[in-house]
Chains A and B, each alone.
Chain A
Amino acid sequence: MSVTATIRIQEADFDVAQEIAALTKGRTDIGAVVSFSGICRGSEDGEPIAALTLEHYPGMAEAEIARHADEALTRWPLQGLTIIHRFGRIAPGENIVLVVTASPHRQAAFEAAEFLMDYLKTNAPFWKREESEKGTSWIEARDHDDAAAARWTKP
Protein backbone atom coordinates (compact mmCIF):
# COMPACT_ATOMS: atom_id res chain seq x y z
CA MET A 1 0.00 0.00 0.00
CA SER A 2 1.43 3.35 -0.92
CA VAL A 3 1.39 6.00 1.76
CA THR A 4 0.70 9.64 1.06
CA ALA A 5 1.86 12.21 3.57
CA THR A 6 -0.61 14.78 4.86
CA ILE A 7 1.10 18.17 4.74
CA ARG A 8 -0.50 21.38 5.88
CA ILE A 9 0.91 24.87 6.22
CA GLN A 10 -1.60 27.00 8.04
CA GLU A 11 -2.12 30.00 10.25
CA ALA A 12 -4.70 28.23 12.44
CA ASP A 13 -3.81 26.12 15.45
CA PHE A 14 -4.16 22.32 15.33
CA ASP A 15 -5.14 19.59 17.79
CA VAL A 16 -2.37 17.04 18.31
CA ALA A 17 -4.66 14.28 19.62
CA GLN A 18 -7.06 14.77 16.73
CA GLU A 19 -4.25 14.54 14.18
CA ILE A 20 -2.94 11.30 15.72
CA ALA A 21 -6.48 9.86 15.83
CA ALA A 22 -7.02 10.76 12.16
CA LEU A 23 -3.88 8.84 11.22
CA THR A 24 -4.69 5.69 13.17
CA LYS A 25 -8.50 5.52 12.95
CA GLY A 26 -9.77 2.15 11.78
CA ARG A 27 -6.24 0.75 11.41
CA THR A 28 -5.00 -2.45 13.04
CA ASP A 29 -1.71 -2.66 11.17
CA ILE A 30 -0.01 0.28 12.89
CA GLY A 31 2.26 -0.71 15.77
CA ALA A 32 3.89 2.59 16.63
CA VAL A 33 3.01 6.25 16.46
CA VAL A 34 5.56 8.93 17.26
CA SER A 35 4.54 12.56 17.45
CA PHE A 36 6.68 15.62 17.88
CA SER A 37 5.08 18.96 18.75
CA GLY A 38 7.09 22.14 18.64
CA ILE A 39 5.63 24.67 21.07
CA CYS A 40 6.35 28.37 21.49
CA ARG A 41 8.36 28.97 24.68
CA GLY A 42 7.57 31.89 26.96
CA SER A 43 11.21 32.86 27.35
CA GLU A 44 14.46 32.77 25.44
CA ASP A 45 17.77 32.78 27.33
CA GLY A 46 15.93 33.87 30.48
CA GLU A 47 14.22 36.82 28.77
CA PRO A 48 10.43 36.66 28.57
CA ILE A 49 8.99 36.79 25.07
CA ALA A 50 5.52 38.00 24.12
CA ALA A 51 5.14 36.00 20.90
CA LEU A 52 6.84 34.60 17.84
CA THR A 53 5.89 35.59 14.32
CA LEU A 54 6.65 33.04 11.65
CA GLU A 55 7.15 34.13 8.07
CA HIS A 56 7.22 31.52 5.31
CA TYR A 57 7.74 31.25 1.58
CA PRO A 58 4.41 30.04 0.17
CA GLY A 59 4.90 27.47 -2.56
CA MET A 60 8.47 26.65 -1.66
CA ALA A 61 7.54 25.67 1.92
CA GLU A 62 5.06 23.08 0.61
CA ALA A 63 7.53 21.82 -1.99
CA GLU A 64 10.40 21.50 0.46
CA ILE A 65 8.35 19.70 3.10
CA ALA A 66 6.86 17.37 0.47
CA ARG A 67 10.37 16.53 -0.79
CA HIS A 68 11.51 15.52 2.70
CA ALA A 69 8.26 13.65 3.40
CA ASP A 70 8.86 11.62 0.23
CA GLU A 71 12.40 10.90 1.32
CA ALA A 72 11.21 9.75 4.77
CA LEU A 73 8.65 7.46 3.11
CA THR A 74 11.41 5.98 0.96
CA ARG A 75 13.87 5.50 3.83
CA TRP A 76 11.56 4.07 6.49
CA PRO A 77 8.60 1.65 6.36
CA LEU A 78 5.99 4.21 7.37
CA GLN A 79 2.26 3.58 7.31
CA GLY A 80 1.23 7.16 7.86
CA LEU A 81 2.80 10.62 8.04
CA THR A 82 1.38 14.01 8.99
CA ILE A 83 3.32 17.27 8.98
CA ILE A 84 1.76 20.57 9.99
CA HIS A 85 3.65 23.86 10.22
CA ARG A 86 2.03 27.12 11.30
CA PHE A 87 2.85 30.65 10.23
CA GLY A 88 1.79 34.04 11.58
CA ARG A 89 1.81 35.22 15.20
CA ILE A 90 2.10 32.45 17.77
CA ALA A 91 1.81 33.08 21.52
CA PRO A 92 3.76 31.21 24.23
CA GLY A 93 2.19 27.81 24.90
CA GLU A 94 0.75 27.54 21.39
CA ASN A 95 1.74 24.91 18.84
CA ILE A 96 4.20 25.75 16.05
CA VAL A 97 4.84 22.47 14.28
CA LEU A 98 3.71 18.85 14.34
CA VAL A 99 5.23 15.69 12.88
CA VAL A 100 3.37 12.39 13.32
CA THR A 101 4.86 9.15 12.01
CA ALA A 102 3.21 5.74 12.08
CA SER A 103 4.94 2.43 11.41
CA PRO A 104 4.77 -1.25 12.38
CA HIS A 105 7.62 -0.83 14.89
CA ARG A 106 8.90 2.07 16.95
CA GLN A 107 12.40 2.53 15.58
CA ALA A 108 11.29 3.62 12.11
CA ALA A 109 8.69 5.98 13.59
CA PHE A 110 11.24 7.59 15.94
CA GLU A 111 13.93 7.91 13.31
CA ALA A 112 11.66 9.29 10.59
CA ALA A 113 10.22 11.89 12.97
CA GLU A 114 13.71 13.00 14.01
CA PHE A 115 14.90 13.12 10.41
CA LEU A 116 11.93 15.26 9.40
CA MET A 117 12.31 17.69 12.29
CA ASP A 118 16.05 18.10 11.69
CA TYR A 119 15.38 18.95 8.04
CA LEU A 120 12.37 21.15 8.75
CA LYS A 121 14.52 23.30 11.03
CA THR A 122 17.30 23.80 8.51
CA ASN A 123 15.68 23.54 5.06
CA ALA A 124 12.03 24.49 5.22
CA PRO A 125 11.70 28.19 4.34
CA PHE A 126 10.33 29.56 7.62
CA TRP A 127 11.78 32.38 9.69
CA LYS A 128 10.98 33.24 13.30
CA ARG A 129 10.82 36.75 14.68
CA GLU A 130 10.66 37.19 18.41
CA GLU A 131 8.70 39.88 20.24
CA SER A 132 9.86 40.97 23.68
CA GLU A 133 9.86 44.10 25.81
CA LYS A 134 12.98 45.20 23.95
CA GLY A 135 11.19 45.09 20.61
CA THR A 136 11.31 42.55 17.82
CA SER A 137 14.28 40.63 16.46
CA TRP A 138 14.84 37.79 13.98
CA ILE A 139 15.98 34.55 15.55
CA GLU A 140 19.33 33.42 14.19
CA ALA A 141 19.92 29.96 12.76
CA ARG A 142 21.92 27.68 15.02
CA ASP A 143 24.92 25.62 13.99
CA HIS A 144 23.80 22.64 16.03
CA ASP A 145 20.63 22.42 13.91
CA ASP A 146 22.79 22.14 10.77
CA ALA A 147 24.89 19.46 12.47
CA ALA A 148 21.73 17.56 13.44
CA ALA A 149 20.49 17.60 9.84
CA ALA A 150 23.89 16.62 8.44
CA ARG A 151 23.92 13.28 10.29
CA TRP A 152 21.13 12.00 8.01
CA THR A 153 23.11 12.57 4.83
CA LYS A 154 23.85 9.31 3.12
CA PRO A 155 27.58 8.54 2.78
Chain B
Amino acid sequence: MKVKYFAWVRERIGIAEETVEPPADVRTVNDLIGWLSSRGEAYAYAFEKPKVIRAAIDHAHVKQDAVISGAREVAFFPPMTGG
Protein backbone atom coordinates (compact mmCIF):
# COMPACT_ATOMS: atom_id res chain seq x y z
CA MET B 1 0.00 0.00 0.00
CA LYS B 2 1.01 3.59 -0.51
CA VAL B 3 1.66 5.69 2.60
CA LYS B 4 1.68 9.48 2.42
CA TYR B 5 2.90 12.02 4.95
CA PHE B 6 2.02 15.70 5.23
CA ALA B 7 3.21 18.86 6.99
CA TRP B 8 5.55 18.25 9.94
CA VAL B 9 5.00 14.48 9.79
CA ARG B 10 6.45 14.59 6.25
CA GLU B 11 9.31 16.83 7.35
CA ARG B 12 10.24 14.61 10.30
CA ILE B 13 10.20 11.41 8.23
CA GLY B 14 11.96 13.10 5.34
CA ILE B 15 9.83 11.73 2.49
CA ALA B 16 6.37 12.59 1.16
CA GLU B 17 5.31 9.06 0.27
CA GLU B 18 6.42 5.46 -0.03
CA THR B 19 5.08 2.02 -0.80
CA VAL B 20 5.19 -0.43 2.10
CA GLU B 21 4.24 -4.03 2.73
CA PRO B 22 3.59 -4.35 6.44
CA PRO B 23 3.45 -7.84 7.98
CA ALA B 24 0.06 -9.56 8.31
CA ASP B 25 -0.28 -8.79 12.03
CA VAL B 26 -0.36 -5.06 11.24
CA ARG B 27 -4.15 -4.79 11.04
CA THR B 28 -5.13 -1.29 12.09
CA VAL B 29 -3.93 2.28 11.57
CA ASN B 30 -2.59 2.15 15.11
CA ASP B 31 -0.65 -1.04 14.30
CA LEU B 32 0.75 0.65 11.21
CA ILE B 33 1.94 3.62 13.30
CA GLY B 34 3.68 1.17 15.63
CA TRP B 35 5.27 -0.74 12.77
CA LEU B 36 6.43 2.42 10.96
CA SER B 37 7.85 3.77 14.25
CA SER B 38 10.04 0.66 14.48
CA ARG B 39 11.62 1.45 11.11
CA GLY B 40 13.98 4.14 12.33
CA GLU B 41 14.55 7.25 14.39
CA ALA B 42 12.89 9.60 11.91
CA TYR B 43 9.67 7.56 12.03
CA ALA B 44 9.80 7.24 15.80
CA TYR B 45 10.22 11.03 16.05
CA ALA B 46 7.31 11.70 13.67
CA PHE B 47 5.01 9.34 15.59
CA GLU B 48 6.33 10.08 19.11
CA LYS B 49 2.88 11.36 20.15
CA PRO B 50 0.54 9.03 18.23
CA LYS B 51 -2.59 10.68 19.66
CA VAL B 52 -1.74 13.91 17.86
CA ILE B 53 -1.52 12.17 14.49
CA ARG B 54 -4.55 12.12 12.18
CA ALA B 55 -5.02 9.44 9.55
CA ALA B 56 -6.94 8.94 6.33
CA ILE B 57 -7.60 5.78 4.34
CA ASP B 58 -8.23 6.32 0.63
CA HIS B 59 -8.94 10.04 1.16
CA ALA B 60 -11.38 9.65 4.08
CA HIS B 61 -10.65 10.54 7.70
CA VAL B 62 -10.46 7.47 9.96
CA LYS B 63 -9.85 6.75 13.62
CA GLN B 64 -6.72 4.88 14.62
CA ASP B 65 -8.61 1.64 15.28
CA ALA B 66 -9.66 1.52 11.61
CA VAL B 67 -8.67 -1.68 9.78
CA ILE B 68 -6.20 -1.09 6.93
CA SER B 69 -6.79 -4.29 4.95
CA GLY B 70 -7.74 -3.42 1.37
CA ALA B 71 -6.48 0.17 1.71
CA ARG B 72 -4.73 1.54 -1.36
CA GLU B 73 -3.48 4.70 0.33
CA VAL B 74 -3.01 5.55 3.99
CA ALA B 75 -2.03 9.09 4.94
CA PHE B 76 -0.69 10.54 8.18
CA PHE B 77 -0.75 14.21 9.11
CA PRO B 78 -1.10 16.67 12.00
CA PRO B 79 -4.49 18.25 12.83
CA MET B 80 -5.63 20.38 9.90
CA THR B 81 -5.12 24.17 9.94
CA GLY B 82 -6.71 25.31 6.68
CA GLY B 83 -9.36 27.91 6.10
A interface: dominant SS:
mixed
Interface residues of A, Cβ cutoff 8 Å to B: 38, 54-57, 59-60, 63-64, 85, 96-97, 117, 120-129, 138-141, 145
Q: Is the CB of A59 within 8 A of B59?
A: yes
- How distant is A140 from chain B, measured CB to nearest CB, in Å? 7
Closest to B75 in A: A57
Count CB-based A-B contacts (< 8 Å).
Answer: 71
Interface residues of B, Cβ cutoff 8 Å to A: 4, 6-8, 56, 59-61, 75, 77-83
Contact partner of A124 (CB less than 8 A), chosen from B7, B78, B83, is B83
Q: Is the CB of A128 within 8 A of B82?
A: yes
- Bound form: Cα–Cα A124–B41 in Å: 29
Residues of A within 8 A of B83 (CB): 38, 85, 96-97, 117, 120-121, 124, 126, 145
Residues of B within 8 A of A117 (CB): 83
Closest to B79 in A: A141
- How distant is A57 from chain B, measured CB to nearest CB, in Å? 6
Contact partner of B6 (CB less than 8 A), chosen from A57, A121, A122, is A57
- How distant is A62 from chain B, measured CB to nearest CB, in Å? 9
Q: Is the CB of B80 within 8 A of A122?
A: yes
- Bound form: Cα–Cα A85–B83 in Å: 7
Residues of B within 8 A of A141 (CB): 78-81
Q: Is the CB of A140 within 8 A of B81?
A: yes
Contact partner of A127 (CB less than 8 A), chosen from B4, B56, B60, B77, is B77
Q: Is the CB of B7 within 8 A of A127?
A: yes
Query: Lowest 4 CB-CB distances: which A-B pairs, in order?
Result: A126-B82, A141-B79, A121-B83, A127-B7
